[in-house]
């Protein structure tokens, strides 16, 4: 049965592994005689209801939620600022760069046709980066305030398991501290996956971390990986003047989650903006010279080798769970072949009071997925129930235009043998898009052929990242395309394209 057809309140995550009877019930809050003996290593003040290792989105949200529930909480983070990869070197700073680079590109190439003539336009990269840093600083301080507001203790340091209830912390300010927890959450997130043969220095061979902090615009940039992160950073530096080539092993951009029809349309749009693509292509090797980086590339299935030179190479082939230095061996926890901590549907490891949430375990590595898991995991501790619908988690690529989707794509449904119908509506037929002179893209609905229940929604176009929220809500509540099509949408708005695509699925559009 499809995940989207599961009852709304039933956990859609399959049981990853089965444990013994001791793990069948709620969290174990008691301690053994040996554990009571070890208590002397920590003071009474260090006894917590919940200890969270990691202060990224999963960790800090869990800390806030647990504090709201009245639990005594400690959140341990070694970075020195809360928010993890997302807030410090990922989602947030990259969106600042994407937004401001789009404004710069629009002034250079798009305002004249709108009757706005601009004189000499200059890029001040230092101020460009400062604006990004100010956004990050304000938000990280805001998160720290929220922890304090909700009574959660924030400990700056690196935490590792000493035993099943004790976390030993190397404090950033020096010294050590032990904290004991009745419950412990592992929320240590993920890191960029390295590329064999290329050493990351974050200056010339970079990950997304280096891509948001370059000190000058490279003349040539090669991006290894045509997924969301690679394409977003490719867009930023292309807009600022770099000649960017994207090398992707698969036959489409955007990764396997993006619908093939949407991916093809998006590639054409990005190519018109100046990005170059080499699909079905693999990087065989790389040589970092003093003047340039020489990559040897060839067809994914084998073929003639060719060279590709660049000043900067961005490695964006995905991310992997981060568990280094956690002391998992001290409590007998192991990871699977992909480095993920194995959990059950309540996020419990084989040690029931130790749970794992976010990028460090199964599922898409998305900040909003991690946030939902954080809330659910705390609810399992405090109420013995929680809920995340893994069939209704949206994805967004913040290129221009944006690409967003939720639910299943055509390839997945074909593989599952599900009969479906499709309805599409182009932004070129939408009145608001026309007045904005921003008409590229479309909205696509996929629905069950018999019941009309929505199975997936895919959008490429202006405001797609905001519009997908309506689609996620519709999917969460089991709506049909007719439910959406018969819901009044304000005029003139881009969201009318959403309504009309739904109408195409069950009947006919009005304006196309």
Q: Is 119 annotated as a binding residue?
A: no
- Name the packing angle between helices 125-149 and 91-109 (round to 10°): 150
Q: Is 232 annotated as a binding residue?
A: yes
Residues 402 and 443 sit within 8 Å (Cβ to Cβ): no
Q: Is 367 annotated as a binding residue?
A: yes
Distances (CA, A) of 165 to 32, 190, 209, 341: 10, 24, 34, 18
Tokens 């010279």 found at: 289
Q: Is 147 annotated as a binding residue?
A: no
Q: Is 258 annotated as a binding residue?
A: no
Q: Is 191 annotated as a binding residue?
A: no
Q: Is 159 annotated as a binding residue?
A: yes
Sequence-distant (≥ 6) Cβ neighbours of residue 267 within 8 angstroms: 252, 253, 277
Q: Is 366 annotated as a binding residue?
A: yes
Q: Is 49 annotated as a binding residue?
A: no
User: Each residue of 178-211: b (16+ CB within 10 Å) or e?
Assistant: bbbbbbbbbbbbbbbeebeebebeeebbbbbbbb
Q: How far apart are CA 125 and CA 58, in angstroms?
A: 32
Q: Is 228 annotated as a binding residue?
A: yes
Residue 456, SS3? strand
Q: Which of 105, 353, 489, 491 is catalytic?
A: 491
Please tell me what DSSP assigns to residue 348: B
Dihedral over Cα of 431, 436, 441, 445: its sign: negative
Q: Is 359 annotated as a binding residue?
A: yes
- Name the packing angle between helices 367-383 and 57-68 (round to 10°): 30
Q: Is 271 annotated as a binding residue?
A: no
Q: How far apart are CA 60 and CA 503, in angstroms?
A: 41
Sequence-distant (≥ 6) Cβ neighbours of residue 505 within 8 angstroms: 421, 422, 423, 445, 447, 452, 481, 485
Q: Is 229 annotated as a binding residue?
A: yes
Sequence-distant (≥ 6) Cβ neighbours of residue 213 within 8 angstroms: 129, 202
Q: Is 178 annotated as a binding residue?
A: no
Q: Is 189 annotated as a binding residue?
A: yes
Q: How far apart are CA 468 and CA 257, in angstroms?
A: 15
Q: Is 491 considered catalytic here?
A: yes
Q: Is 226 annotated as a binding residue?
A: yes
Alpha carbons within 13 A on the beta-carbon side of 375? 8
Q: Is 298 annotated as a binding residue?
A: no
Dihedral over Cα of 467, 469, 470, 471: its sign: positive
Sequence-distant (≥ 6) Cβ neighbours of residue 501 within 8 angstroms: 423, 424, 425, 442, 443, 444, 445, 509
Q: Is 56 annotated as a binding residue?
A: no
Residue 376, SS3? helix
* Residues of the binding site for NAD(+): 225-232, 248, 318
Catalytic residues: 491
* Residues of the binding site for FAD: 95, 159, 188-190, 359, 365-368
């Amino acid at each position: 049965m499809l995940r989207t057809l599961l009852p709304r309140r039933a956990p859609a995550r399959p049981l990853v592994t089965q444990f013994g009877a001791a793990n069948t019930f709620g969290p174990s809050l008691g301690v053994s005689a040996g554990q009571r003996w070890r208590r002397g290593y920590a003071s009474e003040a260090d006894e917590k209801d919940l200890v969270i290792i990691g202060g990224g989105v999963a960790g800090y949200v869990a800390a806030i939620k647990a504090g709201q529930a009245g639990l005594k909480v400690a959140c341990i983070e070694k970075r020195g600022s809360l928010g993890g990869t997302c807030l410090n070197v990922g989602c947030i700073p990259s969106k600042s760069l994407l937004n401001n680079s789009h404004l710069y590109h629009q002034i250079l190439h798009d305002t004249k046709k709108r009757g706005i003539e601009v004189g000499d336009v200059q890029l001040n990269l230092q101020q460009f980066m400062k604006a990004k840093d100010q956004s990050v600083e304000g938000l990280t301080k805001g998160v720290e305030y929220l922890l304090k507001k909700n009574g959660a203790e924030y400990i700056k340091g690196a935490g590792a398991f000493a035993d099943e209830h004790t976390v030993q912390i190397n404090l950033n300010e020096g010294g050590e501290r032990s904290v004991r927890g009745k419950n412990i959450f592992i929320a240590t997130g993920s890191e960029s996956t390295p590329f064999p043969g290329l050493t990351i220095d974050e200056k010339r061979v970079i990950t997304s971390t280096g891509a948001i902090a370059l000190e000058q615009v490279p003349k040539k940039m090669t991006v290894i990986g045509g997924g969301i992160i690679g394409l977003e950073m490719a867009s930023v530096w292309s807009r600022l003047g770099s000649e960017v080539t994207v090398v992707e092993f698969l036959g489409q951009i955007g990764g396997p989650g993006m619908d093939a029809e949407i991916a093809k349309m998006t590639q054409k749009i990005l190519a018109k903006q100046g990005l170059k693509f080499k699909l079905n292509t693999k990087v065989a090797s790389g040589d970092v010279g003093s003047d340039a980086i020489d990559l040897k590339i060839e067809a994914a299935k084998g073929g003639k080798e060719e060279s590709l030179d660049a000043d900067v190479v961005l490695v964006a082939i995905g991310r992997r769970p981060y568990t280094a230095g956690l002391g998992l061996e001290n409590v007998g926890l192991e990871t699977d072949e992909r480095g993920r901590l194995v959990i059950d549907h309540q996020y419990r490891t084989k040690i029931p009071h130790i749970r794992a949430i976010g990028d460090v375990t199964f599922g898409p590595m998305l900040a909003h997925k991690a946030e939902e898991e954080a809330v659910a995991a705390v609810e399992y501790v405090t109420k013995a129930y929680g809920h995340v619908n893994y069939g209704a988690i949206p994805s967004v690529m913040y290129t221009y235009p944006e690409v967003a989707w939720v639910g299943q794509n055509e390839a997945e449904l074909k593989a599952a043998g599900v009969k479906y119908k499709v309805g599409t509506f182009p932004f070129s037929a939408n009145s608001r898009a026309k007045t904005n002179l921003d008409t590229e893209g479309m909205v696509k609905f996929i629905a069950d052929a018999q019941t009309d229940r929505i199975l997936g929604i895919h959008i490429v176009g202006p405001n797609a990242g905001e519009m997908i929220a309506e689609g996620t809500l519709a999917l969460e509540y089991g709506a049909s395309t007719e439910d959406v099509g018969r819901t009044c949408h304000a005029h003139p708005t881009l969201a009318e394209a959403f309504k009309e695509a739904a109408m195409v699925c069950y009947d006919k559009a009005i304006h196309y």
